[in-house]
Amino acid sequence: MKASEIRAMKDAALAEARAAGSADVLESIRVKVLGRKGLLPEIMKGLKDAAPSERPEIGLAANELKVQLQALIDSRKAELSRAAPAAGKAPFDPSLPGSWRGPGLRHPLSYVIEETVRIFARLGFTVADGPDIETDYYNFDALNTPPDHPSRDESDTFWLEPGRLLRTQTSPVQIRVMEKAKPPIRIIAPGRCYRRDTTDATHSANFHQIEGLYVDREVSMADLKSDISFFAGQLMGPGVRVRFRPHFFPFTEPSVEYDFSCHVCGGSGCRVCKQSGWIEISGAGMVDPRVFSKLGMDPETTTGYAFGMGVERIAMIKFGITDIRLLYEGDVRFLEPLSS
Ligand code: DAH
């Protein structure tokens, strides 16, 4: 067969494939031309009888037939299967409205972290960060925690190797910041913390805290109280009241814990606040002069307040979540009622 005849055959086969109305017809064209007993093998067999000078052109034409026809058949088959619905299915109707997925929602933990950062940013705080894997120096020693303090215990802390641990609090970020920056310092440090707690409805071995630190000259408890009260009003609404109770932390003196008035009952007592009218939020205090001294800062003239609050706790209170585990399960249905 001459090259010109092969080209004519190719054009005819391509035209046939273009006109084919079904995958079956396309398949029969493929078998007839490209199949094992089809035209193409026939042409190749005849190649040896052709004049040597014509062979290259015949070979080229045969190859074009093979490549072009196969490509056309493949694309037409794909086109037909897109257009023709599988047996039993309704044909695709482009005028039907799509299935609507609402816009995404922030996770409650992200919400609390982002809101807290936003509120403290208005008071001049910037975000600081520290590593999840800490040394005992930053997590305990520099924070004035004595060597025999129970929080260092194997049963409370995830020790990785001697001297290295998963941080149990975000407070070590305070030290890392004060090592580098000069007062005035105003930072807020959200992040993950780890404790060897058995998981239940209110405990998780991995949780989040937000640390705050303000260091300057003549910072007082009044600054702590006013800034925390401003934060409470912004986060929980204008009606919330804040109460400070004496407490102890190794790295603050004096130390306090503070509570928000219960947002459910407004303070009169209910199930959520266990009839007390108050909900415990966080620890805080005036940075202990010993912490400043260890860092080489003058404890006579340097003053500051610090606080560290649990993000899960605030999220659970704000959104009425009763089981901490829901926050980590990744079930998006859990987020739906939170949007209303
Ligand atoms: N780190 C403390 C904890 O995990 C919370 C805390 C209390 C942080 C007082 C502070 C602070 O910065 O001043 O229980």
- Using DSSP, state whether 313 is helix, strand or coil: helix
- Using DSSP, state whether 41 is helix, strand or coil: helix
**Confidence at residue 340, expressed as pLDDT on a 0 to 100 scale:** 46
> Could you tell me the residue ranges of all domains in the chain?
3-83, 108-339
Q: Which CATH number fits domain 108-339: 3.40.47.10, 2.115.10.20, 3.30.930.10, 1.10.10.10?
A: 3.30.930.10
Q: Between the CA of residue 291 and those of 4, 16, 133, 220, what are the distances in Å?
A: 94, 87, 21, 16
**Contact call for residues 243 and 278 (beta carbons, < 8 A):** yes
250-300 confidence digits (pLDDT tens): 999 999 999 999 888 888 988 878 899 998 999 999 999 999 999 999 999
Report the percentage of the chain scoring pLDDT > 90: 64
3-state secondary structure 3-33: HHHHHHHHHHHHHHHHHCCCHHHHHHHHHHH
Q: Which residue's structure tokens are 């993950």?
A: 192
Taking the CA of residue 287 as reference, the ligand 1 atom at the shortest distance is 13
Which of 138, 171, 214, 290 should be mutated for ligand 1, with most atoms under 8 A from CB?
A: 171
Q: Give the Å distance between the CA of 9 and the centre of ligand 1.
A: 85
Q: Give the Å distance between the CA of 308 and the centre of ligand 1.
A: 4
- Rounded to two decimals, what is the model's pTM? 0.70
Indicate the average pLDDT of the chain.
Answer: 91
**Confidence at residue 181, expressed as pLDDT on a 0 to 100 scale:** 94
**Confidence at residue 267, expressed as pLDDT on a 0 to 100 scale:** 87
Q: Give the Å distance between the CA of 172 and the centre of ligand 1.
A: 10
